Amino acid sequence: MEKEQLKSFTDLPKSKYGHNIRDIQEMTGLSNIEFCKRYNVPKRTLEDWRMGHRNPKQILLDLLDFKVMYDNDLLEDGTEY
pLDDT tens digits, 39-51: 999 999 999 999 9
| Domain locations along the chain | 13-71
CB atoms inside a 10 Å sphere around CB 71 = 13
pTM of the model: 0.77
> Looking at beta carbons, which pairs linking 1-5 to residues 24 or more positions away fall under 8 Å?
3/53, 5/52
Residues, the chain? 81
Fold of the domain spanning 13-71: 434 Repressor (Amino-terminal Domain) (1.10.260)
Q: Quick check: 2 pLDDT over 50?
A: no
Distance CA 62, CA 81 (A): 8
CB atoms inside a 10 Å sphere around CB 76 = 6
Distance CA 48, CA 79 (A): 29
Model confidence over 46-68: pLDDT tens digits?
999 999 899 999 999 999 999 99
Share of the chain above pLDDT 90, in %: 62
